[in-house]
Amino acid sequence: MKEYFTPEDYERAFGSGSYRNKEIFIDTFGGIFRGNPPRKLAKMPQNKLERLIAKIARSDNVMRLRKTLAEEVVGGENYLINLISVMLGQLQKLHIMPSDKDKIYPKMYQDVWAYCAKEMEEKRKSKQFDEPAVPVGKGLFEMELPLEKIFFRPENTFYSDIPTLYKNDALECRHGPEDVVLRRSGKLYVWSDRATDKELENRVKTVIGNTANRVYRNIPSYEKRLIQAEQDIVDELHETFESLKTGSYINYRKVYKVFNWIARENFDISHLIEGSELRKVLRVEIDRKSPNGERIIPLPYTAIRTRVKESYSEFLKVLMTLYDIRNEEDENKPRTYQDRNGLRVVLPTVQNVMDLVCSFKQIPTIEVKDEKNRLGNPKKSGYRSYDLKFKMGDTHYESQFRTHNMDRNAETDIKQAHEGNYLKEKIEALRVVPDRVKLVIATIYGI
């Protein structure tokens, strides 16, 4: 059992590059644990512990720390925006993305996760701070929408089993739709090719026409094959996505959007099309390339997710760092906290990934701290990605470079998902941390 925390522990937790104002964190934690080290907390009577927790929760230093933490989040997001500009410059240099802005369609989203409020409250009351609530659903929404105006629909719900999530057209947890609470998880920036509505309609009709020729080949007339295929495909998609069709009017821009999400594997087509042959052929045709070698439904030039760790992830990281809990890959190095700011770069091909990583590492202002190429040599869980930890200026970053397929697998495969297997391993490791220490640190972070 760790009896007390040392200045070296605080430096590894707060002074390793994740914070600009590390002194506030070191002073606050040091002030609390100097008078109440782990060995004293272990022997403290319950009523005295409860008074201590109440005092910590309302102390000026803790209030200042939480305010600083919120400011650090905003600062981290601004740093990540600057980093995105660097990434885009490299993509244009490599001709993965055009330099002509008129050929690019940028789109920004906020990444919002839905949780069961009762489950979160149950964990808070039982003080299960190291066992996270599992998201009910994950969605992308317009950047400017406040949380209170966000309403989950199938068309903005991704990496999820859509049929099981929605009942009576509402996202539900096991306690019903009224118990769903929303939390921002990060931001997503997508850069795609710019196209007119007519061009998008032609792409959709090309995919449907190719599907019609294979699935409805017994219908002699091409026009009748096309009409039948379009009707069947749009009607089935319309059951999940109401905005695709109004009466007999088909919104081809929205159909194209669904095809594009399927191509990026954000939607699982097996949740959308019932007929096995139609589903299989349509999926192939969505990925088909035209004679010039370009995809009929192009993938985005890139999709970049950014995140600054929120309070719960921060809580876990600080616990692991203060107790120097190491993973197998880095068991010979002291644990530090350097991955508060992170981004994930998703690209069409493995070659794109390798080209960008190679070019990015050559930038003079980038100092690579650690890298792991798991593109061709995945982890036991199946996780594939090129993971890069680096420093730019005084700030440390964690980054992942991968394809759309790798991204979906990492999000949906229970063995790979960050909040699944990886987090489970961390939770098991954290069993060595006394519950009373967890309670104090959870109180500091307002969990």
Q: Output the DSSP codes for 380-420.
A: TT----EEEEEEETTEEEEEEEEEHHHHHHHHH-TTT-III
Any idea what the Cα angle at residue 139 is, between residues 134 and 142, rounded to 5°? Answer: 145
The per-residue pLDDT for 89 is 96
**CA-to-CA distance for 343 and 352, rounded, in angstroms?**
17
**pLDDT digits over 208-262, tens only?**
999 999 999 999 999 999 999 999 999 999 999 999 999 999 999 999 999 999 9
In the numeric block, the tokens 């070191």 are attached to 26
Query: Across-strand partners of 157?
Result: 139
Pair 175, 115: CB distance under 8 Å: no
Both tokens assigned to 234: 């749009």
- Other residues' Cβ atoms within 10 Å of the Cβ of residue 176: 12
Measure CA 177 to chain center.
Answer: 23
Which backbone phi and psi does 298 adopt, to 5 degrees? Answer: -65, 145
Task: Enumerate the β-bridge partners of residue 347.
Answer: 403
- For the domain made up of 1-97+302-405+434-447, the CATH class stated in words is alpha beta
Largest CA distance in the chain: 86
- Over residues 83-101, the pLDDT tens digits come to 999 999 999 999 999 999 9
How many Cβ atoms are within 10 Å of 51's Cβ, its own excluded? 12
Q: Are 389 and 369 in contact (CB under 8 A)?
A: yes
H or E element, residue 330: none
Domain with CATH 3.30.460.10 in the chain: 1-97+302-405+434-447
Tell me which DSSP letter residue 45 carries.
Answer: -
Extract the runs of DSSP E, i.e. beta strands, from 263-329.
302-308
Burial class from Cβ neighbours inside 10 Å (0-12, 13-18, 19+) for residue 10 reads buried
List phi, psi (to 5°) of 140.
-115, 135
DSSP classification of residue 17: S
CA distance 347 to 350: 8
Residue type, 26: I
φ/ψ (deg, to 5) at 340: -65, -40
> Model-level pTM?
0.87
Distant-in-sequence, close-in-space partners of 253: CB < 8 Å, separation ≥ 6 = 197, 200, 201
Q: What integer pLDDT is reported at residue 12 of this predicted model?
A: 93
pLDDT at residue number 425 = 58
Main-chain phi, psi angles of 52, to 5 degrees: -65, -45
225 three-class SS: helix
Query: In terms of DSSP bridges, do strands 245-246 and 366-373 run parallel, antiparallel, or are they unpaired?
Result: unpaired
Return the axis-axis angle of helices 222-240 and 197-215, rounded to nearest 10°.
110
Tokens 């991968």 correspond to 402
Q: What are the residue ranges in the chain where pLDDT is below 50? A: 419-421
CA dist 147 → 18, 112, 176 (Å): 27, 8, 19
Beta bridge partners of residue 370, listed in sequence order: 389
